[in-house]
Structure 1
Amino acid sequence: MKSLVRHFPLAVLAAALATVAVPAQAQAEEFKAGFVNTDRVFREANSAKAAQAKLEQEFSRREKELVDQGNALKAATEKFEREAPTMAESQRIQRQRQLVEQDRDFQRKRREFQEDLSARKNEELAQVLERANRVVKQVAEAEKYDVILQEAVYVNPKHDITDKVIKAMNASAGNGGK
């Protein structure tokens, strides 16, 4: 215990000297940080908008077919509910089975549509993100940033370089860059 007490003032002195030395070194070499809001890039960059339009075109026909099938199923169900009280038992059971089968088919097609759409959306967004990351790296190297963050709890707006990245992405897309 005595040796700990004897060395304690030395530890305090060393810590005090370290805090004095760090600010002098930090002044000589300034740390530069930036932030990119990827959600904004996905909403505002022309390549992201083009990817969204491509997906809409690619999936619009299937989506319309699903909406039509859903509406037809709803109409058939409503018709069955109106007519069921006057139907023969065997006829009512047969129509009920048909409706259950149609609903099962509709649910399967809707699930497959959602899975396909999600997979394609992830592919397209991955390409946009890859391109955005290349542009972020170019901006960081050109403007001598030490670090660029994409996720943060709080960012002072003066460190947000999202506009620069979106402009650079849009400019390079116009010049045939991908």
Structure 2
Amino acid sequence: MKSLSRRLPLALVVALAFAAPVQAQEFKAGFVNTDRIFREASSAKAAQAKLEQEFSRREKELVDQGNALKSATEKFEREAPTMAESQRVQRQRQLVDQDRDFQRKRREFQEDLGARKNEELSQVLERANRVVKQVAEAEKYDVILQEAVYINPKHDITDKVIKAMNGPGGNGAK
């Protein structure tokens, strides 16, 4: 009995000795800040510029229409006390109709802008994910996270990804 109990701990020690090198392999994790990519990558900046160009005319029209509505409302408020009742009611209806039209156009603008922004950012994110995968494979990462409550800055590879996206052949442009 004693010999079996002495062998068991020795067998356990030998098994642990062989298992230790397997456990000692380093688990390599990285982190990518997608918000920074959306702000700093050249493809993200190009997408933002494209959206601004695409929507600037409509935005200016909305601002002009809003200013005209505000001026008309102020003018009505100044002149309303001296107007005839029927004229006051008619102008009030016109202002309500103009405001309804303005709100509808503003809502449509926001919806269109949001949809286009999502389209453009999804393309940037697809490119970023391709580059992240390339970096992960090249540098033998086990996992790359895009969201975390806390991350040690030494694991942040965002600069590498942005540099690769902005560099030649980094899929930075369409």
Assess same fold via TM > 0.5.
yes
- Which of these residues, 22, 25, 34, is aligned with residue 22 of structure 2? 25
Gaps of 5+ in 2: 1-11
Structure 2 residue aligned with 1:104: 100
State the AA in 2 paired with 1:139.
V
State the AA in 1 paired with 2:43.
S
TM-score of the superposed pair, with normalisation by structure 2: 0.87
Is the Cα contact below 8 Å between 2:33 and 2:158 reproduced in 1? Answer: yes
* TM-superposition CA deviations, 1:107-126 (whole Å, max 9, x none): 00000000000000000000
Structure 2 residue aligned with 1:73: 69
State the AA in 2 paired with 1:167.
K
Measured in 2, the distance between the counterparts of 1:145 and 1:174 equals 19
Structure 1 residue aligned with 2:91: 95
Measured in 1, the distance between the counterparts of 2:170 and 2:127 equals 14
Gaps of 5+ in 1: 1-15
Measured in 2, the distance between the counterparts of 1:89 and 1:152 equals 63
What is the RMSD of the two structures over their aligned residues, measured on CA atoms? Answer: 2.1
Q: 1:170: Cα distance to partner?
A: 0.2
Distance 1:24 1:71, change over 3 A: same
State the AA in 1 paired with 2:166.
N
Q: 1:177: Cα distance to partner?
A: 5.9
Q: 1:30: Cα distance to partner?
A: 1.2
Aligned pair 1:51/2:47, yes or no? yes
Measured in 1, the distance between the counterparts of 2:64 and 2:169 equals 38
Measured in 2, the distance between the counterparts of 1:144 and 1:113 equals 45
Q: 1:26: Cα distance to partner?
A: 2.0
Is the Cα contact below 8 Å between 1:33 and 1:159 reproduced in 2? Answer: yes
Is the Cα contact below 8 Å between 1:47 and 1:173 reproduced in 2? Answer: no
Measured in 1, the distance between the counterparts of 2:124 and 2:171 equals 16
Q: How many residues align?
A: 161
SS state of the match for residue 141, structure 2?
coil
State the AA in 1 paired with 2:69.
L
Aligned pair 1:84/2:80, yes or no? yes
Q: 1:172: Cα distance to partner?
A: 3.5
SS state of the match for residue 167, structure 2?
helix
